[in-house]
Amino acid sequence: MTDPKAIKNNPFKELGKIPKLKYKDGYSVQSIYIPIRNGLEIAATICLPKSLKSGDKIPTLLTQTRYWRAMELRIPFRWILDETVTDVPNPEIITSRGYAYIKTDVRGTGASYGTRNVPFSDEEIKDGKDIVEWIISQPWSDGNVVSKGISYTGTTAELLSVNNHPAIKAVIPGHGFWDPYTDVAYPGGVYDHAFMQLWSFLGKNLDINNPKVFRQIMPDVWLFVKGVKPVDNDLGLKNLKEVMNLHQSNQYVYEHTIDKDFRDEELPDGVTIADVSVYKRIEQIEMSGVPILAWCSWLDSGYVDAIIHRFLNVKNPMIAILGDWNHGAHLPANQFFPDATKVTPSPRDKINAWMNFFDKCIFGEGIQDKTLYYYTMVEEQWKKTNMWPPEGHNYLRFYLSENHSLSTDMPDKEDSEDEYQINFRATTGRNNRWWALLALPIVYENRAKMDEKLLCYTSKPFKEDTEITGQSIISLYLTSTHEDGAIFVYLEDVDEKGNITYITDGEFRVIHRKISNETPPYKTLLPFHTYKKQDAMPLIPGEIAEIKFSLHATSVLIRKGHKIKIAIAGGDKDTFLTYPKDGRPTIKISRSNKFSSYIDLPIIKRGK
Amino acid sequence: MEEIFPLLKDMLNNSIQIKKDELNLQFSIIIKTEVKGKLAEPEEVLIMLKMFGGLREDIPIEIIINNEMQTIDLKFDNKENFKKVSLMMDKIWDNAVDMLINLTEGNYNVIKDIPNIDD
């Protein structure tokens, strides 16, 4: 529940106040095709300030989506509202600040021509350059283009900079990935079956303009929306019918990934999942020098780690923000305040802060440095740092110890272990950080009940308030009855009354356990697993192996008197694919002095 | 978008006029705001009656759409059907808004009786 009273270091305050509005009488809307290379046409909805005078020149905010740039409303709503009514933010916030606002359907989606085999292809990125060229040739354009978005549109915003076009002045990727293998599709090598399947299903039905499916999954949208908005002069829907025919040949990630396990396996067109990542394009992004404002939440899938990796790896001037909301920041997600209903900042305050950033980059002094703002839950304060990990960072090691305890003392026994038969009924439900990618609320409830199915270890009460900020690393020495399997580790806070609150988690498929000596494709402070086929190391049943991996980054204050608890599972049935395919492993986790299992918590030393 | 919900009923009722002609078993929907593009397809009018009016059966309706005049005429071949739809039209805009608000609040029951809609 980002505290509205948390003023110090608050990035939204530091981005400045709303200046005097430049245009006050609303905006005009038109939907047209923008011609790009090779005769392709991209559907665009263009909002301009209504009172824009002939000769006025303004910058453009561009958003490229795969989820319909605009919707054709059902009657009677269509008779009184235009196609931008469902836009968040309302375009008027943007046009009143003196910007044109253009939303496009990326190739192969919405009302745009073309087909798509993979998302974020090189061709899709080049389309952005063509669109920018078209924009700056318009009589109202001042030659400046910025881009922003959330999730898919966040990534298209960031990848627009890859084009290294001088008109592109700043980008704001919100809740976007860095490494799609670890951040979303296979966190820790474990296949996120639920999201991949649903996302592909949703994409396919959007691309063929089939709103019927919304009746079940988004009934309010179904009642309100008839389909994608055709361009204005497509009165007979000839264009729309043509593009729908083309989109029938689209391909979707689920069908190409469900039978794959490794990072280096090929998707269509000979590309690998790395080829559609952001990190593979670091060089071009840096060459552009475009200032980046990247923002996300501690609770959002693996995208939280994307913020940290982007901060560590990209040299561009950067503001990075990590808060405690859901995917897209329209709901609070801080698990320590389960009853909170309002998110801070409000969507309106947020967009105004983003517009201030754009103003600064186009008309002002720009930004020079790299600053990461992060919100510490429970303490309910914003912090800022120019380095990662933040100053004062250190690891505090807790060993898995007898009687399901966590102890800072190293075990002294020669033979000591805990046996656990994997319970494949364990689940974090359908409101976890992974389902959140579908813009759902994030709720980890009934942890006490769920922990009964898991192997748990709890510390003694903390003697002082302790800030955990960063990525915890767990190292488990274990044997298994099976060659394959997955380990899920939940980090939880236990208060004086025994209430358990989820903090973060990590997941890992054991066949990827090899810690590689290769140079990672990007700088990481975490144990490096390549997830490549050649490095796969199935367990040898009965033989001890080290499984070492990181948990998703977090920032939380453990209050004096509270305990921390780790809960270990072997599956999360409503989200991830189950490993192994057949059988139910029993694992034994060692806690001997020779093979001591432990978790390293990233602690920030606090000033007195 | 929720910000506009409180205004929607008034917007619809003020922008759309319904003229009934009982003698000729027809009524006209007149849209007073300027509508960009096509007013509607005849199938959309039937879908509107099913979704927001509560029409649960197929009844013969002649639908004449005049895009220039922004009018939609519905003609019936018997009094019973005319009265049935006429009653629906009395509160169809309010129903549409109430259903939308209900759905956004998670009350999905409001659409359970709507038959299959083929867009």
Backbone torsions φ then ψ of A447, nearest 5 degrees: -65, -35
pLDDT of residue A213: 86
pLDDT of residue A363: 97
CATH 2.60.120.260 in chain A, residues?
393-604
Q: What are phi and psi of A537, to 5 degrees?
A: -130, 85
Interchain contact, B16 vs A81, CB within 8 Å = no
Decide if B111 and A80 are in contact by the 8 Å CB cutoff.
no
CA-based nearest distance B88→chain A, Å:
14
3-state secondary structure of A118: coil
Question: Domain coordinates of chain B in residue numbers?
Answer: 2-105
**Residue A455 corresponds to which tokens in the numbers above?**
């192997």
pLDDT on residue A216: 84
Partner-chain contact B108 A78, CB within 8 Å: no
Encoding tokens for residue A56? Answer: 């006025």
Query: Which of A278, A469, A303 lies closest to A389, judged by CA?
Result: A469
Continuous segment of H or E residues that includes residue A406: strand A405-407
Per-residue pLDDT tens digits for B77-109: 999 999 999 999 999 999 999 999 999 888 999
Enter the tokens of residue A368: 């020079």
Q: Is the pTM of this model over 0.90?
A: yes
Task: Tell me whether residues A79 and B15 touch, CB distance under 8 A.
Answer: yes
Q: Please state, as a whole number, how many other Cβ atoms lie within 10 Å of the Cβ of residue A224.
A: 24
A232 touches chain B (CB under 8 A): yes
Distance CA A492, CA A502 (A): 5
Q: Give the helix/strand (H/E) hosting B73.
A: strand B71-76
CATH 3.90.78.10 at A393-604, yes or no: no
- pLDDT number for residue A353: 94
Question: What pLDDT does residue A229 have?
Answer: 96
Q: Calculate mean pLDDT across residues A148-169.
A: 98
Nearest CB to A76; choose among B96, B117, B119 = B96
Of A82, A210, A220, the CB nearest to B100: A220
Flag whether pLDDT at A250 surpasses 80.
Answer: yes
Determine the angle formed by the axes of helices A152-160 and A122-136, rounding to 10 degrees: 70
By Cβ distance, the residue of A76, A210, A235 closest to B38 is A235
Ranges A90-94, A156-160, A502-506: which has the least confidence: A90-94
Write out pLDDT tens, residues A429-472.
999 999 999 988 999 998 999 999 999 999 999 999 999 999 99
| Strand-by-strand arrangement of the B26-31 sheet | B16-21, B26-31, B71-76, B61-66
Q: Is the pLDDT score of A179 beyond 90?
A: yes
Predicted confidence at residue B84, as pLDDT, reads 94
Least confident of A80-89, A384-393, A463-472: A80-89
Q: Is A165 on the interface with B (CB under 8 A)?
A: no
Cβ of A215 under 8 Å from any chain B Cβ? yes
- For the segment A270-278, the average pLDDT, to the nearest whole number, is 94
Q: Distance between CA atoms of A261 and A529, rounded to whole angstroms?
A: 13
What would the DSSP string read from start to end of B35-70?
Answer: PPS----HHHHHHHIIIII---S---EEEEEETTTT
Q: Where in chain A is the domain with CATH 3.40.50?
A: 18-293
Q: Is A135 helix (H, G, I), strand (E, B) or coil?
A: helix
Report whether A531 contacts A265 (CB < 8 A): no
As a whole number, the mean pLDDT across chain A is 96
Residues of A in contact with B112 (CB under 8 A): none
| Strand ranges in A495-597 using DSSP code E only, listed in sequence order | 500-509, 545-550, 554-558, 563-569, 586-590
Does residue A608 have a pLDDT over 60?
A: no
Portion of chain B with pLDDT greater than 90, in percent:
81
**Tens digit of pLDDT for each residue in A182-232?**
999 999 999 999 999 999 999 999 999 998 888 988 899 999 999 999 999
Residue A275 phi, psi dihedral angles, 5° rounding: -65, -20
Q: What is the DSSP letter of A207?
A: H
DSSP A291: -
Provide the CATH topology of domain A18-293.
Rossmann fold (3.40.50)
Residue B1: the pLDDT is 72
Residue A167: CB atoms within 10 Å: 18
* Amino acid of residue A448: A
Instruction: Count CA atoms closer than 13 A to B36's CA, side-chain side.
Output: 17
Identify the pLDDT of residue A321. 98
**Residue at A180: amino acid letter:** P
pLDDT band of A607, cuts 50, 70, 90: low
* Widest pairwise Cα distance in chain A: 83
Q: What is the DSSP letter of A184?
A: I
Task: Tell me if the bond preceding A211 is cis, omega within 30° of 0.
Answer: no
Residue in chain B closest to A219 (alpha carbons) equals: B103
